Amino acid sequence: MKLYKLFLIAITLYAGAATAAQNYFSMSYIQDEGDVQGVKLAYQYALDYQIEGFEELEIYLEANVNFFEYDDPKRYDANLGLSLSPVIFYPIGSIAGNRVFAEFGIGLSLLDDTKFAGKNISTHYQFEDRIGIAMKFGDTEQHSVSLKYFHYSNAGIKKPNPGLDFISLSYSRAL
Protein backbone atom coordinates (compact mmCIF):
# COMPACT_ATOMS: atom_id res chain seq x y z
CA MET A 1 0.00 0.00 0.00
CA LYS A 2 1.31 3.43 -0.85
CA LEU A 3 2.15 5.67 2.09
CA TYR A 4 -0.22 8.42 0.99
CA LYS A 5 -3.15 5.96 1.17
CA LEU A 6 -2.11 4.99 4.70
CA PHE A 7 -1.97 8.71 5.58
CA LEU A 8 -5.48 9.35 4.20
CA ILE A 9 -6.92 6.35 6.08
CA ALA A 10 -5.30 7.51 9.32
CA ILE A 11 -6.72 11.04 8.98
CA THR A 12 -10.20 9.65 8.28
CA LEU A 13 -10.08 7.50 11.43
CA TYR A 14 -8.55 10.30 13.47
CA ALA A 15 -10.74 13.26 12.50
CA GLY A 16 -13.30 12.82 15.31
CA ALA A 17 -13.95 15.24 18.17
CA ALA A 18 -11.14 16.39 20.45
CA THR A 19 -10.88 18.06 23.79
CA ALA A 20 -9.13 21.41 24.14
CA ALA A 21 -5.53 20.97 25.23
CA GLN A 22 -2.11 22.39 24.51
CA ASN A 23 -0.49 19.15 23.34
CA TYR A 24 -1.09 17.87 19.82
CA PHE A 25 -0.77 14.69 17.81
CA SER A 26 0.18 15.35 14.20
CA MET A 27 0.15 13.32 10.99
CA SER A 28 1.94 14.50 7.86
CA TYR A 29 2.21 13.38 4.27
CA ILE A 30 5.74 14.10 3.01
CA GLN A 31 7.00 14.41 -0.58
CA ASP A 32 10.47 15.23 -1.89
CA GLU A 33 11.34 16.69 -5.28
CA GLY A 34 11.50 13.18 -6.78
CA ASP A 35 10.09 9.76 -5.97
CA VAL A 36 10.39 9.82 -2.18
CA GLN A 37 7.16 9.86 -0.18
CA GLY A 38 6.66 9.56 3.53
CA VAL A 39 4.49 9.74 6.57
CA LYS A 40 5.43 11.61 9.74
CA LEU A 41 3.70 10.92 13.06
CA ALA A 42 4.46 13.48 15.76
CA TYR A 43 3.66 14.40 19.34
CA GLN A 44 3.88 18.13 20.06
CA TYR A 45 4.37 18.93 23.73
CA ALA A 46 3.57 22.53 24.64
CA LEU A 47 6.33 24.13 26.68
CA ASP A 48 5.11 26.49 29.37
CA TYR A 49 7.80 29.02 28.59
CA GLN A 50 7.49 32.69 27.77
CA ILE A 51 10.10 34.99 26.27
CA GLU A 52 9.84 38.55 27.54
CA GLY A 53 8.51 40.76 24.77
CA PHE A 54 7.31 37.72 22.75
CA GLU A 55 4.45 36.43 24.90
CA GLU A 56 2.39 35.57 21.80
CA LEU A 57 4.85 32.81 20.77
CA GLU A 58 3.80 29.20 21.21
CA ILE A 59 6.74 26.87 21.77
CA TYR A 60 6.53 23.10 21.38
CA LEU A 61 8.93 20.22 21.71
CA GLU A 62 8.11 17.81 18.89
CA ALA A 63 9.09 14.15 18.89
CA ASN A 64 8.37 12.36 15.64
CA VAL A 65 8.89 9.23 13.64
CA ASN A 66 9.23 9.39 9.85
CA PHE A 67 8.65 6.57 7.40
CA PHE A 68 10.14 7.31 3.97
CA GLU A 69 9.95 5.18 0.84
CA TYR A 70 11.65 5.57 -2.50
CA ASP A 71 9.40 4.00 -5.10
CA ASP A 72 11.50 4.12 -8.23
CA PRO A 73 10.37 1.52 -10.81
CA LYS A 74 13.93 0.13 -10.98
CA ARG A 75 14.42 -0.23 -7.22
CA TYR A 76 12.67 0.22 -3.91
CA ASP A 77 14.26 1.73 -0.81
CA ALA A 78 12.91 2.73 2.61
CA ASN A 79 14.24 4.68 5.55
CA LEU A 80 13.08 5.32 9.10
CA GLY A 81 13.84 8.51 10.99
CA LEU A 82 13.38 9.68 14.57
CA SER A 83 13.52 13.40 15.33
CA LEU A 84 13.35 15.77 18.26
CA SER A 85 12.83 19.47 17.52
CA PRO A 86 11.88 22.61 19.38
CA VAL A 87 9.25 24.33 17.24
CA ILE A 88 8.09 27.94 17.48
CA PHE A 89 4.69 29.16 16.30
CA TYR A 90 4.43 32.91 15.73
CA PRO A 91 0.98 34.38 14.97
CA ILE A 92 0.95 36.30 11.69
CA GLY A 93 -2.76 36.92 11.12
CA SER A 94 -6.09 35.21 10.70
CA ILE A 95 -8.30 33.72 8.00
CA ALA A 96 -12.07 33.56 8.60
CA GLY A 97 -11.47 34.11 12.32
CA ASN A 98 -8.88 31.33 12.59
CA ARG A 99 -5.36 32.21 13.74
CA VAL A 100 -2.55 31.70 11.22
CA PHE A 101 1.03 31.03 12.37
CA ALA A 102 4.52 31.00 10.92
CA GLU A 103 6.26 27.85 12.14
CA PHE A 104 9.98 27.25 12.36
CA GLY A 105 12.44 25.04 14.17
CA ILE A 106 15.76 23.23 14.07
CA GLY A 107 16.19 19.83 15.65
CA LEU A 108 18.09 16.57 15.49
CA SER A 109 17.18 13.49 13.52
CA LEU A 110 18.46 9.91 13.48
CA LEU A 111 18.04 7.97 10.21
CA ASP A 112 18.44 4.21 10.02
CA ASP A 113 20.36 4.27 6.72
CA THR A 114 22.98 6.66 5.33
CA LYS A 115 22.27 5.68 1.72
CA PHE A 116 18.77 6.48 0.59
CA ALA A 117 17.00 7.24 -2.70
CA GLY A 118 20.28 7.15 -4.61
CA LYS A 119 21.96 9.62 -2.23
CA ASN A 120 24.80 9.07 0.21
CA ILE A 121 24.04 11.35 3.17
CA SER A 122 27.15 10.18 5.08
CA THR A 123 25.83 10.19 8.65
CA HIS A 124 22.90 8.71 10.54
CA TYR A 125 22.60 11.96 12.49
CA GLN A 126 21.06 14.87 10.60
CA PHE A 127 19.74 18.29 11.46
CA GLU A 128 16.03 18.75 10.73
CA ASP A 129 15.26 22.34 9.72
CA ARG A 130 11.70 23.46 9.08
CA ILE A 131 9.68 26.47 8.09
CA GLY A 132 5.98 26.52 7.45
CA ILE A 133 2.58 28.09 7.80
CA ALA A 134 -0.18 26.70 10.01
CA MET A 135 -3.79 27.54 10.74
CA LYS A 136 -5.52 26.50 13.96
CA PHE A 137 -9.29 26.09 13.93
CA GLY A 138 -12.19 24.71 15.94
CA ASP A 139 -13.95 26.10 19.01
CA THR A 140 -10.81 25.74 21.14
CA GLU A 141 -8.24 25.60 18.31
CA GLN A 142 -8.18 21.83 18.72
CA HIS A 143 -7.38 21.31 15.01
CA SER A 144 -4.54 22.57 12.85
CA VAL A 145 -3.47 22.21 9.23
CA SER A 146 -0.06 23.22 7.98
CA LEU A 147 2.20 23.29 4.96
CA LYS A 148 5.91 22.93 5.76
CA TYR A 149 9.30 22.72 4.10
CA PHE A 150 11.86 20.38 5.74
CA HIS A 151 15.58 20.14 5.07
CA TYR A 152 17.74 17.34 6.46
CA SER A 153 21.49 17.86 6.48
CA ASN A 154 24.53 16.88 8.53
CA ALA A 155 25.69 20.55 8.37
CA GLY A 156 28.92 19.59 6.64
CA ILE A 157 30.16 17.43 9.52
CA LYS A 158 31.03 14.73 6.98
CA LYS A 159 31.15 14.67 3.18
CA PRO A 160 29.17 14.12 1.05
CA ASN A 161 26.33 16.21 2.40
CA PRO A 162 23.69 16.45 -0.34
CA GLY A 163 20.83 16.98 2.09
CA LEU A 164 17.22 15.89 1.70
CA ASP A 165 14.37 18.34 1.02
CA PHE A 166 10.68 17.67 1.64
CA ILE A 167 7.33 19.44 1.56
CA SER A 168 4.70 18.20 4.01
CA LEU A 169 0.99 18.64 4.46
CA SER A 170 -0.02 18.09 8.08
CA TYR A 171 -3.10 17.71 10.22
CA SER A 172 -2.83 18.08 14.00
CA ARG A 173 -5.36 17.58 16.76
CA ALA A 174 -5.23 18.50 20.43
CA LEU A 175 -5.09 15.59 22.79
**Active-site residues: which are they?**
151, 153, 165
CA distance 149 to 167: 5
Distances (CA, A) of 159 to 15, 129, 153: 43, 19, 11
The C-alpha atoms of residue 94 and residue 166 are separated, in whole angstroms, by: 26
For residues 97 and 93, give the distance between their C-alpha atoms in angstroms, rounded to a whole number.
9
DSSP characters for 54-99? -TT-EEEEEEEEEEEEEEETTEEEEEEEEEEEEEEEEEEEEETTEE
